[in-house]
């Protein structure tokens, strides 16, 4: 019996949905991917409804040595991370609970839900959790990679706010990891990705929050110098107002020449007059959507600018926050895009993200944010295009972009040993930058809870602790 037949039989036994045969995930309602680049052809798609149901499938997969992929929201654009060729996709979309605890201190979240639905469920109750800025991002994948949100300056990363992980191990055992039970696993899951088991649910700290103020301020490209200056000032002074958050995005299409700056601003306390955000509001405007609104509405606006069905990629670098370094990194990026101007109909999106020192005050987690003595800026390259024949050239450009920026920051003493895992490209090694002690710890925990290394060998996608530091 092939593993397709084996999994179908397991589906009948454990009463869960199984789609068999050569299918694309997008052919199955509820199992689509954000980016066309992530779409592969699994042999089976399994949709468990609970950890207990998933337990039986995991035992079947591991005992049969069946390769499999794990999908939460399917928002990572790189092929193989949340899909697989000739293997099984474990699609968690039916595990999508949003349940506020009786004492209103935490929310139980299914790992297969998306953050837009989480916000919509909590807002009528006046409650909130720190989740993704785009509504379509999955709960599980984002949290296991750390999780930056508009609320990070106030409460830390999403992972920092988890108080209980429900995990299905390779043995099929369902365990809980908290600060008093399986504490080593609890720490490791706060940034360690899918190296230890399949997280099905998590309890996340909740807090009261009403409407927020935010939106997108679109400016002409000739405001670049001012936008970079405002971003650097924001990073330096961000500790003066923990309710504010900013991303500065440059949209650059080298084919048709369209270029613009988008300052994505938010004040989670609903204040439209924050002194930290005023400089961005003073930029020349092509459009301005800033208003008092709900988190769900704001997250849908951002998701609308990044629609599913296109081709996307990620790569990321981090460097010390310094205005001269910021300008140099930006100019290097422009030079790379000019070198690849023959790659047609691609929009190069540069997303600048603040990483101030104060983010070290949360946790603990293994991500390595504490390996810095300066404020930092994370820069994400997020190109988008439609033609699959351009995939190799876009990937080559991303690799070149990372190499050139890292070369400059290393030579000029502005480098920072951090690559944000959710935005890293396959040719990068984000786990290596967690630091030697953290990486060794994660490797030991993975071996303890998965002694036969099923999640290292049978799950080909994602960054593996067993391979980290070896590139």
Domains and CATH numbers, the chain: 3-91 (3.30.43.10), 98-208+431-457 (3.30.465.10), 212-428 (3.40.462.20)
State how far the Cα of 377 lies from the Cα of 420, in Å rounded to an integer. 11
Query: How confident is residue 32, by pLDDT bands cut at 50, 70 and 90?
Result: confident
Q: What's the half-sphere exposure (Cβ side, CA atoms, 13 Å) at 170?
A: 24
Q: Residue 124's closest CA among 203, 208, 204, 205?
A: 208
Question: Which tens digit of pLDDT belongs to each residue from 60-85?
Answer: 999 999 999 999 999 999 999 999 99
Q: What is the pLDDT of residue 20?
A: 56
Q: What is the pLDDT of residue 404?
A: 98
The pLDDT mean for the chain works out to: 93
Residue that is written with structure tokens 């949209």 in the block: 251
Question: Which tens digit of pLDDT belongs to each residue from 234-248?
Answer: 999 999 999 999 999
Question: Which tens digit of pLDDT belongs to each residue from 366-395?
Answer: 998 877 889 999 999 999 999 999 999 999
Residue that is written with structure tokens 């309602």 in the block: 29
How many other C-beta atoms lie within 10 A of the C-beta of residue 338? Answer: 10
Query: How confident is residue 1, by pLDDT bands cut at 50, 70 and 90?
Result: very low
State how far the Cα of 43 lies from the Cα of 323, in Å rounded to an integer. 51
How many other C-beta atoms lie within 10 A of the C-beta of residue 21? Answer: 12
With contact defined as beta carbons under 8 Å apart, do 270 and 292 qualify?
yes
Residue 24 has pLDDT above 80, yes or no: no
Task: Give helix then strand counts, H and E, for the chain.
Answer: 13, 21
């Amino acid at each position: 019996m092939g593993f397709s037949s084996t999994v179908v039989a397991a589906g009948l036994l454990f009463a869960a949905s199984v789609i068999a045969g050569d299918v694309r995930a997008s052919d199955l309602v509820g199992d689509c991917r954000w980016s066309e680049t992530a779409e592969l052809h699994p042999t089976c798609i399994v949709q468990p409804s609970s950890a207990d149901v998933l337990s039986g499938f995991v035992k079947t997969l591991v005992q049969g040595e069946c390769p499999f992929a794990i999908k939460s929201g399917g928002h990572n654009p790189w092929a193989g991370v949340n899909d697989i060729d000739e293997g099984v996709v474990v699609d968690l979309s039916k595990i999508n609970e949003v349940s506020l605890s009786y004492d209103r201190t935490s929310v139980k979240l299914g790992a297969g839900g998306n953050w837009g639905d989480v916000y919509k469920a909590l807002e009528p109750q006046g409650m909130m959790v720190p989740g993704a800025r785009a509504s379509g991002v999955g709960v599980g994948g984002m949290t296991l990679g750390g999780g930056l949100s508009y609320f990070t300056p106030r409460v830390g990363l999403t992972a920092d706010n988890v108080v209980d992980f429900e995990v299905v191990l390779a043995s099929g055992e369902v365990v809980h990891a908290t600060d008093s039970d399986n504490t080593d696993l609890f720490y490791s899951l706060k940034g360690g990705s899918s190296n230890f088991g399949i997280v099905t649910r998590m309890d996340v700290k909740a807090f009261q929050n009403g409407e927020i103020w935010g939106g997108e301020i679109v400016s002409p490209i000739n405001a670049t110098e001012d936008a970079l200056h405002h971003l650097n000032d924001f990073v330096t002074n961000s500790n003066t107002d923990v309710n504010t958050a900013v991303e500065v995005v440059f949209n650059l299409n080298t084919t048709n020449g369209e270029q613009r700056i988008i300052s994505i601003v938010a004040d989670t306390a609903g204040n439209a007059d924050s002194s930290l955000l005023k400089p961005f509001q003073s930029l020349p405007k092509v459009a301005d959507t800033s208003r008092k609104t709900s988190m769900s509405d704001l997250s849908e606006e951002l998701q609308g600018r990044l629609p599913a069905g296109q081709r996307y990629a990620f790569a990321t670098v981090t460097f010390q926050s310094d205005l001269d370094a910021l300008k140099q990194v930006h100019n290097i990026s422009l030079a790379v895009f000019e070198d690849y101007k023959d790659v047609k109909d691609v929009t190069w999106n540069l997303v600048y993200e603040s990483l101030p020192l104060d983010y070290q005050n949360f946790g603990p987690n293994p991500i390595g944010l504490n390996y810095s003595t300066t404020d930092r800026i994370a820069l994400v390259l997020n190109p988008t295009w439609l033609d699959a024949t351009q995939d190799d050239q876009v990937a080559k450009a991303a690799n070149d972009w990372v190499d050139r920026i890292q070369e400059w920051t290393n030579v000029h003493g502005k480098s920072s040993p951090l690559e944000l895992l959710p935005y890293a490209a396959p040719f990068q090694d984000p786990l290596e930058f967690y630091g030697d002690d953290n990486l060794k710890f994660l490797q030991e925990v993975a071996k303890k809870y998965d002694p036969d290394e099923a999640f290292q060998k049978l799950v080909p996608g994602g960054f593996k602790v067993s391979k980290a530091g070896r590139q």
